[in-house]
Amino acid sequence: MRKIIDSYKFGKIVIDGKTYNSDLILYPDKIKINWWRKVGHQLIYEDIQEILVEKPEILIVGTGAFGLMIVSDETKKIIKENNIKLIVQKTERACKTYNSMSKDKNVVLALHLTC
CATH code assigned at 32? 3.40.1230.10
In tens, the pLDDT along 56-80 reads: 999 999 999 999 999 999 999 999 9
Exposure string over 44-82, b if 16+ CB within 10 A, otherwise e = beebbeebbeeebebbbbbbbbeeebbbeeebeebbeee
Residue-wise pLDDT tens digits, 25-38: 999 999 999 999 98
Q: How many CB atoms lie within 10 A of CB 98?
A: 25
Q: How many domains does the chain have?
A: 1
Q: Which range marks the domain in which residue 54 is found? A: 5-111
